[in-house]
Amino acid sequence: MVSNSNSFGGVVPETWTDPACPVARTLDLVGDRWSLLIVRDAMDGARAFTDFQQRTGIARNILTDRLRRLVDRGILDRQAAPSGRRPVYSLTPAGRDLFTVVVALRQWGERHAFAPGEPHSVLVDEHGVPLPPLTPLGSAGTPAGPDTTTVRKAG
Protein backbone atom coordinates (compact mmCIF):
# COMPACT_ATOMS: atom_id res chain seq x y z
CA MET A 1 0.00 0.00 0.00
CA VAL A 2 1.32 3.42 -0.92
CA SER A 3 1.53 5.76 2.02
CA ASN A 4 2.36 9.27 3.16
CA SER A 5 3.03 11.06 6.45
CA ASN A 6 0.24 12.03 8.82
CA SER A 7 0.16 14.77 11.44
CA PHE A 8 1.80 12.40 13.95
CA GLY A 9 4.76 11.80 11.64
CA GLY A 10 3.65 8.23 10.95
CA VAL A 11 2.68 6.58 7.70
CA VAL A 12 -0.97 6.29 6.69
CA PRO A 13 -2.77 4.86 3.67
CA GLU A 14 -3.14 7.18 0.67
CA THR A 15 -6.32 5.36 -0.30
CA TRP A 16 -8.83 5.50 2.52
CA THR A 17 -11.78 3.10 2.66
CA ASP A 18 -14.14 6.07 3.14
CA PRO A 19 -12.10 9.32 3.08
CA ALA A 20 -14.63 11.52 4.91
CA CYS A 21 -15.58 9.06 7.67
CA PRO A 22 -13.60 9.13 10.94
CA VAL A 23 -14.77 5.59 11.81
CA ALA A 24 -13.51 4.19 8.50
CA ARG A 25 -10.19 6.04 8.79
CA THR A 26 -9.70 4.72 12.32
CA LEU A 27 -10.37 1.19 11.14
CA ASP A 28 -7.92 1.69 8.27
CA LEU A 29 -5.27 2.58 10.89
CA VAL A 30 -5.97 0.16 13.77
CA GLY A 31 -8.98 -1.93 12.79
CA ASP A 32 -7.49 -5.38 12.44
CA ARG A 33 -7.70 -7.84 15.33
CA TRP A 34 -4.00 -8.03 16.11
CA SER A 35 -3.38 -4.28 16.10
CA LEU A 36 -6.03 -3.61 18.72
CA LEU A 37 -4.80 -6.51 20.87
CA ILE A 38 -1.26 -5.10 20.71
CA VAL A 39 -2.59 -1.67 21.73
CA ARG A 40 -4.58 -3.32 24.55
CA ASP A 41 -1.46 -5.07 25.81
CA ALA A 42 0.65 -1.90 25.54
CA MET A 43 -1.95 -0.24 27.76
CA ASP A 44 -1.48 -3.12 30.19
CA GLY A 45 2.32 -2.75 30.35
CA ALA A 46 3.67 -4.85 27.47
CA ARG A 47 6.80 -3.23 26.03
CA ALA A 48 9.01 -5.86 24.38
CA PHE A 49 8.35 -8.04 21.34
CA THR A 50 8.32 -11.12 23.59
CA ASP A 51 5.74 -9.47 25.89
CA PHE A 52 3.33 -8.99 22.99
CA GLN A 53 4.05 -12.43 21.54
CA GLN A 54 3.46 -14.25 24.84
CA ARG A 55 0.28 -12.31 25.72
CA THR A 56 -1.39 -12.66 22.31
CA GLY A 57 0.06 -15.88 20.90
CA ILE A 58 0.44 -14.05 17.59
CA ALA A 59 2.84 -15.50 15.01
CA ARG A 60 6.20 -13.73 15.02
CA ASN A 61 5.97 -12.56 11.39
CA ILE A 62 2.51 -11.06 11.93
CA LEU A 63 3.62 -9.38 15.16
CA THR A 64 6.64 -7.88 13.40
CA ASP A 65 4.37 -6.49 10.68
CA ARG A 66 1.77 -5.07 13.10
CA LEU A 67 4.37 -3.45 15.37
CA ARG A 68 5.95 -1.81 12.31
CA ARG A 69 2.56 -0.57 11.10
CA LEU A 70 1.60 0.79 14.53
CA VAL A 71 4.92 2.66 14.72
CA ASP A 72 4.55 3.95 11.13
CA ARG A 73 1.01 5.12 11.85
CA GLY A 74 1.96 7.03 14.99
CA ILE A 75 0.23 4.70 17.49
CA LEU A 76 3.38 3.21 19.07
CA ASP A 77 6.85 4.63 19.55
CA ARG A 78 9.89 2.38 19.17
CA GLN A 79 13.06 2.98 21.22
CA ALA A 80 16.16 0.99 21.99
CA ALA A 81 15.91 -0.95 25.25
CA PRO A 82 18.21 0.16 28.07
CA SER A 83 20.40 -2.85 27.21
CA GLY A 84 20.53 -1.60 23.61
CA ARG A 85 19.90 -5.10 22.28
CA ARG A 86 16.20 -5.07 21.46
CA PRO A 87 13.60 -2.39 20.85
CA VAL A 88 10.84 -1.55 23.30
CA TYR A 89 7.50 -0.04 22.38
CA SER A 90 5.35 2.53 24.13
CA LEU A 91 2.09 4.23 23.32
CA THR A 92 2.26 7.65 21.69
CA PRO A 93 -0.34 10.27 22.67
CA ALA A 94 -2.44 9.02 19.73
CA GLY A 95 -2.08 5.45 21.01
CA ARG A 96 -3.06 6.47 24.54
CA ASP A 97 -6.08 8.20 23.02
CA LEU A 98 -7.36 4.75 21.98
CA PHE A 99 -8.04 3.90 25.65
CA THR A 100 -11.69 4.90 25.40
CA VAL A 101 -12.06 2.78 22.25
CA VAL A 102 -10.56 -0.27 23.98
CA VAL A 103 -12.78 0.27 27.05
CA ALA A 104 -15.85 0.57 24.80
CA LEU A 105 -14.96 -2.69 23.03
CA ARG A 106 -14.33 -4.38 26.37
CA GLN A 107 -17.66 -3.24 27.80
CA TRP A 108 -19.54 -4.28 24.68
CA GLY A 109 -17.87 -7.69 24.92
CA GLU A 110 -18.80 -8.02 28.59
CA ARG A 111 -22.47 -7.42 27.65
CA HIS A 112 -22.67 -9.40 24.40
CA ALA A 113 -19.78 -11.87 23.99
CA PHE A 114 -20.18 -13.96 27.16
CA ALA A 115 -22.95 -16.20 28.41
CA PRO A 116 -24.53 -15.11 31.71
CA GLY A 117 -22.18 -16.04 34.56
CA GLU A 118 -19.32 -16.95 32.22
CA PRO A 119 -16.04 -15.76 33.75
CA HIS A 120 -14.08 -12.97 32.05
CA SER A 121 -11.45 -10.39 32.88
CA VAL A 122 -12.61 -7.09 34.37
CA LEU A 123 -11.02 -3.66 33.99
CA VAL A 124 -10.88 -1.92 37.37
CA ASP A 125 -9.78 1.54 38.50
CA GLU A 126 -7.05 2.35 41.04
CA HIS A 127 -9.48 1.42 43.85
CA GLY A 128 -10.22 -2.02 42.40
CA VAL A 129 -13.72 -1.02 41.29
CA PRO A 130 -14.94 -1.89 37.75
CA LEU A 131 -15.34 1.14 35.49
CA PRO A 132 -18.91 2.32 35.00
CA PRO A 133 -20.38 1.79 31.53
CA LEU A 134 -19.29 4.36 28.97
CA THR A 135 -22.21 6.45 27.82
CA PRO A 136 -21.94 9.09 25.10
CA LEU A 137 -23.66 12.30 26.11
CA GLY A 138 -25.32 14.92 23.95
CA SER A 139 -24.86 18.66 24.36
CA ALA A 140 -27.55 18.78 27.06
CA GLY A 141 -25.76 16.10 29.10
CA THR A 142 -28.33 13.41 28.35
CA PRO A 143 -27.40 9.98 26.94
CA ALA A 144 -26.92 10.00 23.16
CA GLY A 145 -27.51 7.04 20.86
CA PRO A 146 -28.39 6.05 17.30
CA ASP A 147 -31.91 7.43 17.72
CA THR A 148 -30.77 10.85 18.96
CA THR A 149 -27.80 11.56 16.67
CA THR A 150 -27.14 12.01 12.97
CA VAL A 151 -23.96 12.27 10.92
CA ARG A 152 -23.27 15.61 9.26
CA LYS A 153 -21.53 14.74 5.98
CA ALA A 154 -18.37 16.63 5.00
CA GLY A 155 -18.42 19.05 2.11
Number of folded domains that form the chain? 1
CATH number at residue 18: 1.10.10.10
**Among 95, 101, 96, which residue's Cα sits nearest to residue 69?**
95
Single pTM value for the model: 0.86
Give the pLDDT confidence score for residue 15 in this predicted structure. 85
Q: What is the residue range of 107's domain?
A: 3-112
Is residue 74 in some structural domain? yes
Is residue 119 in some structural domain? no
Is residue 66 in some structural domain? yes
Is residue 148 in some structural domain? no
Give the pLDDT confidence score for residue 2 in this predicted structure. 37
User: Which own/partner pairs from 92-95 qualify as long-range (CB within 8 Å, at least 24 positions apart)?
Assistant: 92/8, 94/8, 95/39, 95/42, 95/70
Is residue 58 in some structural domain? yes
Is residue 47 in some structural domain? yes
Mean pLDDT by 10-residue block, N- to C-terminus, for the chain (155 residues)? 46 77 93 96 97 96 97 96 90 97 96 95 96 96 96 88
